[in-house]
């Protein structure tokens, strides 16, 4: 068969296939819809998105059928409205764009499989082959063009959606933290987080030199890991505050009121934790406690624990002492004398003395806790009191507060070591 004649026959065959596609649009849409809905995991469980996927498939198939039937230039075609809306809805739900592009690739494969099954019935295989090439080229160019358009629509919607959502979320969080009365259902919708449960507020920050986006991604990962380690089934609430700091709330449900968070292996990551609390008021209180625990960690500088929990009674006391660092420095100097020196020797003596006080003056119990011989403990206690210059019971309360301050606020309250 001559080349021109073969091309004309192939175009006529493509037109016939396209006409058949248009006539069987509901059936073909149903098949594609079922396959895509079952294949793309990100779409499962969201009935509205699955229904919109069906509308997107139907509109794309209809457009492809018209292109093939009437020889429409693919370069002039725009994304069908339903397909563009489907992309926007995926962006609003945070579904990765890979799910969007994958649907188009799978759809192209299934349409071509159906078309080649029809072409396989032809007796003239040279015409069928030429028609198949036209269909592959046309559908490829269509998918390439439409994919770019829907991904662009997805990205634009995602940026706008996040900006709007963050604005609403920020305003709602400010109302909650001020203690303003709020409609719980409205607040939960704005936050995407359930308030009618127990939760733990956390403050996370990073001291690395990474980019702002990378720092925040690491902090969000850290919050997710803390929630997973705590066995939480719900998603934590993550709120960036600046390029290196974020606030978070970990959901505990209604039956739990405890949590344990371990330090991240990265030494540049820090967490301050509030106490578990319930409801909208607890949402505010546990956050305020986390902020106070962070104040303790910041005052402790490089010697602070990388996880500082307000549930620790010493942290609660240190938080009050950190509110007036100048007054606390005077307290430490007056209560400890030269024992307040910022040296390793003084630190060992203070640690032993603090445990000794906690163990109600028992040398044996203190020795077991600090893993030293009883005589060594006695020597250290005597040496600490000698450095202090006063007996154990002289201003006992100030002594204990000063030791707490030294333990948690470290370099912010200790006296510089003598040359």
Which CATH number fits the domain that encloses residue 338?
A: 1.10.10.2840
Asked, for residue 122, whether it belongs to a domain, the answer is yes
Q: Strands 198-206 and 277-278: what pairing?
A: antiparallel
Same domain, 215 and 81: no
Same domain, 304 and 254: yes
Asked, for residue 151, whether it belongs to a domain, the answer is yes
pLDDT value at residue 257: 67
pLDDT value at residue 263: 81
| Cβ proximity of 207 and 268 under 8 Å | yes
- The dihedral built from the CA positions of residue 286, 292, 293 and 294, taken in this order, carries a sign that is positive
10 Å Cβ neighbour count for 227?
25
Burial class from Cβ neighbours inside 10 Å (0-12, 13-18, 19+) for residue 403 reads buried
Nearest to 259 by CA among 231, 280, 219: 231
| Cβ proximity of 199 and 286 under 8 Å | yes
Asked, for residue 250, whether it belongs to a domain, the answer is yes
Q: What CATH number is attached to the domain comprising 261?
A: 3.30.70
Query: Of the candidates 290, 315, 340, which is a domain's last residue?
Result: 315
pLDDT value at residue 259: 76
Q: What CATH number is attached to the domain comprising 121?
A: 1.10.490
Burial class from Cβ neighbours inside 10 Å (0-12, 13-18, 19+) for residue 6 reads middle
Opening angle at CA 392, ends 388 and 394, nearest 5: 85
CA atoms lying within 13 Å on the CB side of residue 106:
19
Query: What tokens appear for 270 in the block?
Result: 């820090």
- The Cα-based distances of 23 to 106, 135, 261 in angstroms read 22, 18, 61
Same domain, 306 and 333: no
Asked, for residue 419, whether it belongs to a domain, the answer is no
Q: Which helix (H) or strand (E) holds 278?
A: strand 277-278
pLDDT value at residue 360: 92
Whole-number Å distance between alpha carbons of 151 and 165? 20
Same domain, 282 and 303: yes
Same domain, 253 and 386: no
pLDDT value at residue 187: 92
Asked, for residue 66, whether it belongs to a domain, the answer is yes
CA atoms lying within 13 Å on the CB side of residue 324:
7
Asked, for residue 391, whether it belongs to a domain, the answer is yes
Q: Provide φ and ψ at 231, rounded to 5°.
A: 75, 25
Query: Of the candidates 287, 315, 343, which is a domain's last residue?
Result: 315
Same domain, 51 and 139: yes
Q: Strands 198-206 and 269-273: what pairing?
A: antiparallel
Rounded to two decimals, what is the model's pTM? Answer: 0.63
Whole-number Å distance between alpha carbons of 170 and 177? 10
Asked, for residue 366, whether it belongs to a domain, the answer is yes
CA atoms lying within 13 Å on the CB side of residue 152:
8
- The Cα-based distances of 197 to 84, 118, 175, 286 in angstroms read 38, 58, 18, 13
Same domain, 272 and 255: yes
What is the count of structural domains for the chain? Answer: 3
Whole-number Å distance between alpha carbons of 35 and 27? 13
Same domain, 151 and 261: no
| Cβ proximity of 341 and 414 under 8 Å | yes
223: which residues sit within 8 A by CB, 6+ positions away? 202, 204, 236, 238, 246, 248, 250
Average pLDDT, the chain: 90
* CA terminus-to-terminus distance, the chain: 102
Residue 209 carries which DSSP code? -
Determine the structural domain holding residue 44 and report its residue range.
Answer: 3-161
pLDDT value at residue 229: 82
Opening angle at CA 278, ends 273 and 281, nearest 5: 90
Ranges in the chain, pLDDT < 50? none
Asked, for residue 167, whether it belongs to a domain, the answer is no
Same domain, 22 and 134: yes
Whole-number Å distance between alpha carbons of 319 and 308? 11
| Cβ proximity of 139 and 116 under 8 Å | no
Residue 134 carries which DSSP code? H
| Cβ proximity of 282 and 199 under 8 Å | yes
Same domain, 117 and 199: no
Query: What tokens appear for 339 in the block?
Result: 């024992």
Give the SS3 label for residue 140.
helix
Same domain, 145 and 200: no
pLDDT value at residue 418: 62
Same domain, 364 and 278: no
């Amino acid at each position: 068969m001559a080349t021109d004649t073969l091309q004309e026959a192939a175009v006529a065959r493509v037109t016939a296939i396209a006409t058949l596609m248009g006539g069987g649009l509901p059936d073909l849409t149903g098949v594609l819809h079922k396959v895509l809905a079952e294949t793309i995991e990100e779409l499962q469980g969201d009935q509205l998105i699955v229904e919109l996927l069906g509308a997107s498939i139907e509109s794309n198939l209809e457009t492809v059928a018209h292109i093939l039937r009437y020889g429409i230039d693919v370069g002039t075609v725009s994304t069908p409205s339903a397909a563009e809306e489907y992309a926007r809805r995926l962006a609003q739900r945070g579904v990765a764009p890979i799910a969007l592009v994958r649907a188009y690739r799978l759809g192209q494969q299934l349409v071509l499989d159906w078309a080649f099954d029809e072409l396989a019935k032809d007796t003239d295989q040279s015409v069928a082959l030429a028609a198949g090439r036209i269909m592959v080229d046309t559908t490829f160019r269509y998918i390439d063009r439409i994919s770019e358009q829907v991904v662009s629509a997805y990205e634009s919607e995602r940026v706008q959606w996040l900006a709007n959502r963050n604005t609403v979320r920020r305003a709602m969080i400010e109302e909650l933290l001020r203690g303003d009365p709020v409609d719980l259902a409205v607040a939960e919708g704005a936050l995407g987080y359930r308030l009618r449960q127990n939760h733990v507020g956390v403050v996370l920050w990073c001291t690395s030199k990474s980019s702002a986006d990378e720092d925040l991604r690491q902090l969000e990962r850290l919050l997710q890991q803390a929630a997973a380690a705590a066995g939480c089934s719900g998603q934590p609430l993550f709120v960036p505050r600046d390029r290196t700091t974020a606030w978070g709330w970990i959901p505990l449900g209604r039956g739990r009121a405890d949590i344990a968070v371990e330090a991240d292996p990265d030494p540049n990551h820090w967490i301050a934790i509030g106490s578990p609390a319930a409801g909208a008021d607890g949402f505010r209180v546990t956050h305020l406690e986390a902020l106070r625990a962070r104040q303790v960690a910041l005052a402790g500088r490089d010697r602070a624990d990388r996880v500082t929990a307000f549930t620790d009674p010493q942290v609660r006391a240190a938080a009050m002492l950190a509110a007036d660092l100048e007054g606390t420095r005077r307290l430490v100097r007056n209560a400890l004398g030269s024992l307040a020196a910022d040296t390793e020797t003084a630190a060992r003596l203070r640690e032993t003395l603090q445990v000794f006080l906690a163990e109600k003056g028992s040398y044996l119990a203190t020795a077991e806790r600090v893993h030293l011989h009883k005589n060594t403990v006695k020597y250290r206690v005597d040496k600490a009191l000698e450095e202090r210059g006063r007996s154990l019971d002289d201003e006992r309360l100030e002594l204990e507060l000063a030791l707490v301050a030294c333990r948690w606020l470290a370099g912010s309250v200790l006296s510089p070591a003598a040359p």
